[in-house]
Structure 1
């Protein structure tokens, strides 16, 4: 069957929408296709939006490193330290479900003697990942973990426990931005925009805000921590009908 000019153009618009969805890193949130009989002239616009959120959750990695002449002894020492850390943070209200032991390793320490590598002992290390929901006690949690045996501290990383409302706010702003751009382009061409034919988004989401690794001297006292605000962003591509 021969294709009319309108059919070809509608097919190209549909193909463009599908191609945008297939781009690496893009997550489709919604696609709306034009019904039969809709005018084929279109304008495509991108938009970005952001929302700010006060963090209500923090994660911190509490590391333990031990050494011994025996591999099992080094591992046992690290395990006991992890248990002490978990017990200490639980006393400050951290739930068991928010404590996770990870990155366990044991490896030999060696030195060179008479041209040969000789094992002199063993080093064991692990980390205890802790999620703190009571932000007011974050400094206390870090200090208590340090006192219980944590000798490296990474984080904290700040985030929000439920980012959905902020993502929706950022998405709404991004769509408004795309509409504003499309209206400006259409006006410059002596046209106006109509219905939305398709849209796609790449969900950037929440970027956890980290602090630099803390020195042990800083962790010896309750650490004052200011989490600031998080930026939650969204990007969209929208295809509008031209009138």
Structure 2
């Protein structure tokens, strides 16, 4: 991979060049997180909590029947808020709003749509979104990093040839700037109620940027 320069007089002053390299690798996600749940309102806090609890339990039971292990279903958020209306410029108490959200982790990308449908069919009126990711990002990132370093070396060799210089292909320094950009499609409960939900995970783009310093001799 590397091209070493001929032996030089050790007293000769080396020059330094800095080049950048970018490597990008596309990978299919193998993990998805769905945030979904129930929002209930009632003048009575106890009634709002009771209705919410019943709906959440119905969703959890349905998910387990659908084959999702209980360990992959967690509470993501729980909130109780008073609700007010404004009438004639005055704040009027309307009741309480209870929000309970579940975090569902999936490793089978083919069941995402059906799991969302299962949740909404059993009372979920909030679907915050679906986030896709990789379980082992480091493996893909290392591939991108290798490509980034290869690109940086090619740039350095091109510059050295243009200068009629000898390049020491062993980097003097390498600075990384990892970037694991992952798309996070967002779906609303309203949009999900009309038809079976098709979810296409797409590709995750894992990128590595490097700044590499080389010595060269004129």
Tell me the TM-score normalized by structure 1.
0.77
Distance 1:67 1:38, change over 3 A: farther
Counterpart pick for 2:145 among 138, 162, 171:
171
Superposed, 1:41-190 pairs within 5 Å as 41-112=15-86, 116-190=90-164
Counterpart pick for 2:206 among 203, 211, 232:
232
Distance 1:53 1:37, change over 3 A: farther
Distance 1:143 1:108, change over 3 A: same
CA distance in 2, matches of 1:64, 1:211: 20
Residue in structure 2 matched with residue 198 of structure 1 by the alignment = 173
Query: Is the contact made by 2:22 and 2:209 (CA closer than 8 Å) also made in structure 1?
Result: yes
Task: Identify unmatched segments of 5+ residues in structure 1.
Answer: 1-35
CA distance in 2, matches of 1:197, 1:39: 15
CA distance in 1, matches of 2:193, 2:120: 7
CA distance in 2, matches of 1:83, 1:106: 18
Pairwise CA RMSD: 2.3
Tell me the TM-score normalized by structure 2.
0.85
CA distance in 2, matches of 1:40, 1:96: 62
CA shift, 1:123, in A, is 0.9
CA shift, 1:235, in A, is 0.4
Deviations 1:15-61 (A, max 9, x none): xxxxxxxxxxxxxxxxxxxxx98964221111111001111111111
CA shift, 1:168, in A, is 0.7
Q: How many residues align?
A: 207
SS for the counterpart of 2:29 is: coil
Query: Is the contact made by 1:202 and 1:235 (CA closer than 8 Å) also made in structure 2?
Result: yes
Task: Identify unmatched segments of 5+ residues in structure 2.
Answer: 1-9
Query: Is the contact made by 2:182 and 2:205 (CA closer than 8 Å) also made in structure 1?
Result: no
Query: Is the contact made by 2:35 and 2:76 (CA closer than 8 Å) also made in structure 1?
Result: no
CA shift, 1:184, in A, is 1.7
SS for the counterpart of 1:185 is: helix
CA distance in 2, matches of 1:78, 1:198: 57
SS for the counterpart of 2:127 is: strand
Counterpart pick for 2:197 among 176, 200, 223:
223
